[in-house]
Amino acid sequence: MSSPILSVRDLRVHFTLHDDGWLSKSKTLRAVDGVSFDLNPGETLGVVGESGCGKSTLARAILGLVPVTSGEVRYAGVNLATLNPEQFHEQRRHLQIIFQDPLASLDPRMTVGQIIGEPLRAFFSRMSADERQSKVLAIMQHVGLLPEQINRYPHEFSGGQAQRIGIARALILHPDVVVCDEPVSALDVSIKAQIVNLLGDLQSKFGLSLLFIAHDLASVRHISHRVLVLYLGKIMELAPADEIYGAPRHPYTQSLIQAVPVADPQRARAHPAKALSGEPPSPISPPSGCVFRTRCPYAVERCAVEVPELRQVGKSMVACHLAEELVP
């Protein structure tokens, strides 16, 4: 297997919160807490977790959009933290991002052509306007936008069309890695499928590696080769998609799957979506030991004492003391 295009090692992003009281101690919020994974060329890695689990912070940290507390992000073997600002800027063209809310991520006062062409201005300042326009038109065609839409403004587009603009902007520099931060969560059902299919097509066309973030397992099902399950800033399970969906090993992965309602009334009546009790604890004061233990139906004493390491079990990487016993 070829070497990974992106490798993340023991990444931590901690935020210090200052309380109002001047005598109170400042607290640390561990948004991402020791995350390691590789992304291979041409691969899609799904990243799944509930709100507040650190998935967006992880995306931003990889792109250098939030300060990293410790750990490494290597792109094509180069540790991005060791680069000076110019070198980092140069590497950043290979790493792009698509945001969740398509309309909020587009400047309302810029035309579609200006929005999509902006990365070209940032990286190739001497490129002629004509050349830039022809590149913009070419990428617009790839994402399914019409050439006559180049002078329109974002507000004239529906959510799905606006997301196509965001995708065109991310792809115009022909990046290797695209981080998709919940790109379809805000879209309507019928449009979601269009965008997921488009991303799959573009991936095979341009050989992209995708980090595809979502808050539920169903939406990454169709695009992911492997899936990473995050909870409170830590990896619970990292496994090939068939394992995650067919034989989930971590109790949290299992409950995420059981919580998805099935679009089949007879099956839903027989086995209603199973709720996980409680809600995720605060990342400011995470539970001792395994962070999932407070909601885990299988928790034993050991879980409160010892932090489970992420380890190989079968084809999966699982962070659970009981992984062998909980046969899926």
Contact 114, 135 (CB under 8 A): no
CB atoms within 10 A of CB 43: 18
231 in Cβ contact with 49 (< 8 Å): yes
# residues near other proteins by CB under 8 A? 48
Shortest distance in whole angstroms from residue 36 CB to other proteins:
24
Helix (H) or strand (E) holding 192: helix 189-206
Name the residue nearer to other proteins (CB basis): 17 or 268.
268
Identity of the residue, 11 or 230, whose beta carbon is nearer to other proteins in the bound complex: 230
Q: Does 276 bind other proteins (CB under 8 A)?
A: yes
Contact track, other proteins, 15-54, x by CB under 8 A:
-----------------------------------xx---
Give the helix/strand (H/E) hosting 71. strand 70-75
CA dihedral 118, 89, 80, 3 (to 10 degrees): 60
Tell me: does residue 219 bind other proteins (CB under 8 A): yes
Per the CB < 8 A criterion, the answer to whether 101 and 182 are in contact is: no
Binder among 45, 241, 313, 322 for other proteins (CB under 8 A): 241
Residue 221 as a binder of other proteins (CB under 8 A): the answer is yes
Which tokens sit at 294? 């407070």
Distance CA 295, CA 315 (A): 25
Among 26, 125, 128, 190, binds other proteins (CB under 8 A): 190
Q: What are phi and psi of 122, to 5 degrees?
A: -70, -35
* 262 interacts with other proteins by CB under 8 A: yes
**Is position 257 an interface residue for other proteins (rule: CB under 8 A)?**
yes
Residues that bind other proteins (CB under 8 A): 50-51, 158, 160-161, 188-194, 196-197, 200, 215-219, 221-224, 241-242, 245, 255-268, 272-277, 279
